[in-house]
Each structure stands twice: as structure tokens, then as C-alpha cells.
């Protein structure tokens, strides 16, 4: 949700800002802007993408060694030139880039209007710029104190970079709820919403914590909280490499990330499964293992694709570890009055580790004695830092807005956790434990086989690329995969798609079926197989088109379905990891054929740091 980048040092800021914004464009891409701050300040901003900003800045003065940039995902005010960041205060003293939402902006705006302030945009950010300026001018305090005083009046979330025209070599950064990373170089500092714009300049970073303010010049970084107490910067080393953030020859990040899955799943279990396949070792949760073993209930909180992974986790934990599980939308959970017991285990799943609702949900749980685990992909992210313990997914940076490899690595972690708990709680027989470890290890090779079917899946995409609706149905562990398949299709191709437990079809959705309706049927090779045959027959009886995902060698469904996509045989416990792959590929090709922007679908952003 919006990307921020900033630089202070000896280099020319412009190329660093532009490259940084391109890296952050996945976070929001409806408008972009920069401010170059040496001496006279130059602001260039426009509706559109970073390439439109580059065109705007062409032939303009782009000199300067201090600057800030922003790529926007609109919250307050439509995407437009005037709503693009950076925002300038009315008297031109302050420039602000902001990621987040100022919830009490309208109250503050009225107050400022009563003091004569006029506004040039519809944004909450401009309100903050003017609030800071008003305090600065009226109370005659330093820019940094004006920022801190203003922030004590703000309700909401912010990642901010601010500069004051009277102090041209200084950047002020602040964070509450929205991430901000500071890269530390030799006589230079880089600021960004995540580490991707920083990684090629330095591997030393500082993650700002909530309500921290950093005052940064070329030679100094002064860290404090809003109350002016000094804080000691905790400098960390990042391992992200530049190779992880290019397309590697693929047309889109999403396609690259789909194809990376045999490797990313291996990266998820690498070092966690003994070479002889005898056991799983999850170092990140070792300290809390007694609490996990004795947990009376697991509550999983997540959003979107991560919530679908949570549903897969529900089946696995209940089946193999015999612990009851509830899977909650974080956005609902945070506003309920949930009953949480001290021996509950709460698992937050989040690729980014920054999703505002998921973060708020775990903060609510922190008021109780329950144990909180995180399953995150982004190391050092807010959720990974605020949980008691956790397991990183190690899927590498995911840039495509549609989550693919993060989903399969989340499921890999959940599978390992369920097996560990099942083994330790003795609810899973040792033979089955070892067999399932073996099955998990075989998954990457089996995904490679599915990826070889891409041309066939592309041909099916060509048949259905113009449909308006699609249904997905699955049972058991494949029901969440049906939800995920439908989400993939709708978010990148804008085709309306819904996923259902197959047996629910006859309670309503079946009314939608006619000769124009494709139905994706996910058939496991377990006890639900016969029932899925009946469900497919029900669809065919109403002239629906069936695209079935079946186990290799299946003969029965092949005779009924319009198209079949085979996946290698596997144990049902790992079937979600295989069955989702053809659905990702199908959605990808349909979106490409519809000329949609696959990596940056409309209205979406990769990391949803506002509620
Ligand atoms: O970073 P998170 O996993 O917390 O993000 C949650 C959702 O916003 C995310 O999964 C979203 O649904 C994706 N666009 C799905 O592809």
C-alpha cells in the first residue's frame, strides 16, 4: 500500500529514487512523484506509473543529492496529479511522502481550515503536512519537534519521510503501523518501505519500530520516540540479493514465481527435514514447543491467499495433530470480542508480514496470555517481530501482486508444523509421519512435472479467456484450493469467479450453471473421489463445462469432463501443493490473453498496510 523511497548522501538522488520506486511499484501504482531537495526544491508528480513520472521529469532539473519519492495506492482522493505525493504544506515549508491512513484527518483539516489553511489535494497526507507546518510556524520549534508534536495528534497509520525547506540536508522519518527500513551506507542513508530499493547499496539496515522518529543527515542518524527519548538503533544485516528482484527472463514476475515453486518449496523445508527423512526440525518454534504441544485450540488469523493457506492448515492440524482449529479473517477477528484462552495457540499467516488487519489481530491477542506464532515470508517484517515465535517461509521476495509461491511455501510450513505436532502429541503414527515427510520431499519434483503441462493449460485458457464467470469446486483439503484458484482468476483477469465446497453447489450455486459456465473441479484420489464424480455429473447434466484436475491415470472423470489436467499421484496431505499449480497457470494465461496487467492488477496492491 504505497511505496516510499528516500536518499541523503553524496550521490545524485534521482536515479536512486526512480529505481527504488520501480522496485516498490508492486505496493501501489496509480500515481508517482519525487521531490529533490537540495537548495531549491523540485517536485515532479503525476497520475500513472513510474515510467510516466520519468517522462514528466525528462529535460527537467533532476540534480540534487537529497530526495524522496512515492508510488501511490489511493486511499483518500482519486488517483490524479494533484493527489499524487509528495505533498507540500501551504507555505511551502514541508514536503511529505506517506504510506498509511490518517484516520482523524477530517477533524484536523477543519481545525487547519479555521486557521486559514487552504488545501490543494483531497488527501489525508496534505493535512499532516499542514499540521506540521502550522506547529512549526506558530510554536517556533525545530522541524523535528514539529513533526513529533504533530504525530502525537494523529490517529491512524503512517510510514513517513518529511523534509523542511529550512533544513535542506535533513530527512525526518517516522513510523506507526506502516513499514519503513533505513539502509545505512558510508556517509549516506537510504529509506524505503521495504529493503528492495536498498539492497544494491548496503546490507546494513535498521527497521523503524512504531512511534519511532529518525532524524537523518548525510553523516548522522538520531533515533528517538515521539516523547524524545533516545533509542539505540538495532542494525541488522539483510540477506536479500539483487538477483531475487528481476524477472529472470520471464515475461512477468507472476510467471517467474509460479515456475520458482519447485525451488521455493525446497527452500522452505531445506535444513528443516533431516537428510534421512527421519524428522522435521523447526528451530523457530523450539522455545515454545511445550506450549504448542499442550495447546487446546489453534486460531489462525490471516487475509486473502494467506487465509486460504490457513484453511489448508485447519485440515492438517485437525487430522494429524488432533487440535481443534478456527480460521479467522483477521479483519473480522480484530473487531470482535473473541474468547481467547491462555492455552490457545494463535498463528498469524502473512507473506508480507505487514498486513494491517493481521497485525492488528495479533496485537489484540497480545493482550491475552495465548501464544502467538508467525508464518511470514518477509524477514524482519512487523508480524515476524511482534509474534512470540515463528517459522519463515523462505520463498524469496514475491513481487507479483497475485500470491503464488508464498501460498505454497505457507502450506509447506503448515504441513511441517502439523506433522511435528502430530508426532510430538503422538496423534500421528510414526510410519505415517515418515511417509508424509517423504511425500513432502517429493512435491518439488512433482510440481516440475506439472509445469511441463503449461502449453496444454494455455490451450484451455484460450478456450475460456472470454467467459464472464467461473466456478471452482473442491472437497476436503482441495476446498481451500478451489477458493484460491477462484481468487487468482478474479484478481488478475477480472473474471468473476467463486470457489465452493463441491457439496454446497446444490444449495445454490448450481442455479448459475448453463452452457457458458466453466466449472473447475478439483478431484482428489481419496475417499471424496466418488462424491466428486457425482458433483461433476450434476454440472454436466446442466450443460456446464468441466475442467477437471485429476490424478495421473484417472479414467472415470476423463470420460465426463470437457478438459482434464493431470497432476502426479500423491498423498492427500500434500495434494493442495500440487492441485493449485495448474490453477495458477490457467489464471496467468487467461489474464495475459485478456491483456490484463498481470503483475499489477487494477485496484490492488501487494502489501495491504491500511485496513
Ligand atoms: O501479505 P499477506 O499474506 O498478509 O497478504 C494477504 C493478502 O492481501 C494477499 O494474500 C492477497 O489476497 C493477494 N493479492 C492474493 O493473491
Q: Which of 2, 164, 376, 570 is catalytic?
A: 2
596 flagged as catalytic: no
pLDDT digits over 424-450, tens only?
999 999 999 999 999 999 999 999 999
pLDDT digits over 397-433, tens only?
899 999 999 999 999 999 999 999 999 999 999 999 9
Which atom of ligand 1 sits closest to the CA of residue 404?
16
Give me the pLDDT at residue 25, please: 86
Mean pLDDT of 301-322: 98
Give me the pLDDT at residue 524, please: 87
Whether residue 606 has pLDDT greater than 90: no
300, 328, 403: residue to mutate for ligand 1 pocket, most atoms within 8 A of CB: 403
Which atom of ligand 1 sits closest to the CA of residue 608?
8
Give just the sign of the alpha carbon dihedral 256, 257, 263, 267.
positive
CB-ligand 1 contact for 179 (6 Å cutoff)? no
- Topology annotation, domain 247-447: Rossmann fold (3.40.50)
What's 482-540 look like in SS3? HHHHHHHHHHHHCCEEEEEEHHHHHHCHHHHCCCCCEEEEECCCCCCHHHHHHHHHHHH
CB-ligand 1 contact for 401 (6 Å cutoff)? yes
pLDDT digits over 509-564, tens only?
899 999 999 999 999 888 889 999 999 999 999 999 999 999 999 999 999 999 99
CB-ligand 1 contact for 304 (6 Å cutoff)? yes
Helix (H, G, I), strand (E, B) or coil at 191: strand
Please report, for the chain, the start and end positions of each structural domain, with discontinuous segments joined by +: 3-244, 247-447, 453-599
Q: How far is the CA of 402 from the centre of ligand 1 (A)?
A: 8
Q: Which of 405, 446, 545, 606 is catalytic?
A: 606
Lowest mean pLDDT among 131-135, 276-280, 440-444, 589-593: 276-280
176 band by pLDDT with thresholds 50, 70 and 90? very high
Give me the pLDDT at residue 55, please: 96
User: Which of the two residues, 509 and 582, has the higher pLDDT score?
Assistant: 582
Q: How far is the CA of 80 from the centre of ligand 1 (A)?
A: 26
H-helix or E-strand containing 434? helix 430-451
323 band by pLDDT with thresholds 50, 70 and 90? very high
Write the residue with the smallest CA distance to atom 8 of ligand 1. 304
- Identical fold, 247-447 and 453-599: yes
Whether residue 201 has pLDDT greater than 90: yes
Is CATH 1.20.1250.20 the right assignment for the domain spanning 3-244? no
Average pLDDT value over all residues in the chain:
94
Q: How far is the CA of 609 from the centre of ligand 1 (A)?
A: 11
252, 309, 351, 606: residue to mutate for ligand 1 pocket, most atoms within 8 A of CB: 351
Q: How far is the CA of 310 from the centre of ligand 1 (A)?
A: 12
Give me the pLDDT at residue 40, please: 85
Mean pLDDT of 226-247: 85
Whether residue 241 has pLDDT greater than 80: no
CB-ligand 1 contact for 397 (6 Å cutoff)? no
Whether residue 611 has pLDDT greater than 80: no
CB-ligand 1 contact for 551 (6 Å cutoff)? no
484 band by pLDDT with thresholds 50, 70 and 90? very high
608, 609, 610: residue to mutate for ligand 1 pocket, most atoms within 8 A of CB: 608
Q: Where are the alpha helices (DSSP H) in 319-404?
A: 330-333, 356-366, 382-386
Closest CA relative to residue 143, chosen from 132, 131, 152, 157: 132
29, 194, 303: residue to mutate for ligand 1 pocket, most atoms within 8 A of CB: 303
Whether residue 610 has pLDDT greater than 80: no
pLDDT digits over 334-378, tens only?
999 999 999 999 999 999 999 999 999 999 999 999 999 999 998
Lowest mean pLDDT among 232-241, 457-466, 533-542: 232-241
376 flagged as catalytic: no
Mean pLDDT of 83-98: 97
- Topology annotation, domain 453-599: Rossmann fold (3.40.50)
384 band by pLDDT with thresholds 50, 70 and 90? very high
Q: How far is the CA of 494 from the centre of ligand 1 (A)?
A: 17
Question: Is residue 278 within 8 Å of residue 435, measured between CB atoms?
Answer: no
Q: What angle do CA 261, 265, 270 make, to 5 degrees?
A: 145
Amino acid at each position: 500500500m504505497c511505496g516510499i523511497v528516500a536518499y541523503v548522501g553524496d550521490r545524485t538522488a534521482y536515479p536512486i529514487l526512480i529505481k527504488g520506486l520501480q522496485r516498490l511499484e508492486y505496493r501501489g501504482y496509480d500515481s508517482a512523484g519525487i521531490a529533490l531537495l537540495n537548495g531549491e526544491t523540485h517536485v515532479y508528480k503525476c497520475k500513472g506509473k513510474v515510467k510516466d513520472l520519468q517522462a514528466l521529469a525528462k529535460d527537467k532539473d533532476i540534480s540534487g543529492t537529497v530526495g524522496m519519492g512515492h508510488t501511490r495506492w489511493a486511499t483518500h482522493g482519486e488517483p490524479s496529479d494533484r493527489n499524487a505525493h509528495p505533498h507540500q504544506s501551504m507555505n511551502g515549508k514541508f514536503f511529505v511522502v506517506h504510506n498509511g491512513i490518517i484516520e482523524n484527518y477530517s477533524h484536523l483539516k477543519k481545525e487547519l481550515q479555521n486557521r486559514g489553511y487552504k488545501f490543494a489535494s483531497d488527501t489525508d497526507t496534505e493535512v499532516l503536512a499542514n499540521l506540521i507546518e502550522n506547529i512549526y510556524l506558530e510554536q517556533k520549534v525545530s522541524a523535528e519537534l514539529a513533526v513529533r508534536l504533530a504525530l502525537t495528534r494523529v490517529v491512524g497509520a503512517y510510514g513517513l519521510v518529511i523534509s523542511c525547506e529550512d533544513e535542506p540536508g535533513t530527512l525526518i522519518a517516522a513510523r506507526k503501523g506502516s513499514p519503513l527500513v533505513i539502509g545505512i551506507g558510508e556517509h549516506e542513508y537510504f529509506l524505503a518501505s521495504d529493503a528492495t530499493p536498498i539492497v544494491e547499496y548496503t546490507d546494513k539496515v535498521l527497521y523503524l519500530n512504531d512511534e519511532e522518529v529518525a532524524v537523518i543527515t548525510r553523516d548522522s542518524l538520531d533515533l528517538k520516540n515521539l516523547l524524545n527519548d533516545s533509542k539505540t538503533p538495532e542494525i541488522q544485516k539483510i540477506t536479500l540479493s539483487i538477483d531475487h528482484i528481476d524477472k529472470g527472463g520471464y515475461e512477468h514476475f507472476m510467471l517467474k514465481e509460479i515456475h520458482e515453486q519447485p525451488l521455493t518449496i525446497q527452500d522452505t523445508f531445506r535444513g528443516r527435514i533431516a537428510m534421512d527423512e527421519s524428522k522435521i526440525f523447526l528451530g523457530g518454534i523450539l522455545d515454545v514447543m511445550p506450549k504448542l504441544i499442550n495447546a487446546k485450540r489453534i486460531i489462525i488469523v490471516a487475509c486473502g491467499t494467506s487465509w486460504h493457506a490457513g484453511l489448508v492448515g485447519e485440515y492438517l492440524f485437525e487430522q494429524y495433530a488432533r487440535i481443534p482449529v478456527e480460521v479467522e479473517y483477521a479483519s473480522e477477528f480484530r473487531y470482535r470480542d473473541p474468547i481467547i484462552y491462555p492455552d490457545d495457540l494463535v498463528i498469524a499467516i502473512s507473506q508480507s508480514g505487514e498486513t494491517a488487519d493481521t497485525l492488528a489481530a495479533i496485537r489484540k491477542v497480545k493482550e491475552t496470555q495465548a501464544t502467538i506464532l508467525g508464518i511470514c515470508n518477509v524477514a524482519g517484517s512487523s508480524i515476524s517481530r511482534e509474534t512470540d515465535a515463528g517459522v519463515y517461509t523462505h520463498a524469496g521476495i514475491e513481487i507479483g501482486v497475485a500470491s503464488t509461491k508464498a501460498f505454497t511455501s505457507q502450506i509447506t510450513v503448515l504441513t511441517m508444523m502439523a506433522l511435528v505436532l502430530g508426532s510430538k502429541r503422538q496423534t500421528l503414527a510414526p510410519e505415517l509421519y515418515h511417509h508424509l515427510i517423504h511425500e513432502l520431499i517429493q512435491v518439488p519434483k512433482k510440481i516440475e512435472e506439472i509445469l511441463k503441462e503449461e502449453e496444454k493449460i494455455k490451450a484451455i485458457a484460450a478456450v475460456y479467456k472470454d467467459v464472464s464467470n467461473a466456478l471452482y469446486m473442491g472437497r476436503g483439503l482441495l476446498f481451500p484450493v478451489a477458493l484460491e484458484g477462484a481468487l487468482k482468476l478474479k484478481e488478475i483477469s477480472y473474471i468473476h469467479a467463486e470457489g465452493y465446497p463441491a457439496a454446497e453447489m446444490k444449495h445454490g450455486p448450481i442455479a448459475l450453471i448453463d452452457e457458458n459456465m466453466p466449472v473447475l473441479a478439483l478431484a482428489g484420489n481419496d475417499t471424496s473421489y466418488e462424491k466428486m464424480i457425482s458433483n461433476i455429473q450434476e454440472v454436466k447434466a446442466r450443460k456446464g463445462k468441466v475442467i477437471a484436475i485429476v490424478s495421473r491415470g484417472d479414467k472415470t472423470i476423463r470420460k465426463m469432463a470437457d478438459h482434464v489436467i493431470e497432476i502426479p499421484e500423491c498423498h492427500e496431505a500434500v495434494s493442495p501443493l500440487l492441485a493449485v499449480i495448474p490453477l495458477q497457470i490457467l489464471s496467468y494465461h487467461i489474464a495475459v490473453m485478456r491483456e490484463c496487467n498481470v503483475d499489477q492488477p487494477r485496484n490492488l496492491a501487494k502489501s495491504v498496510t491500511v485496513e
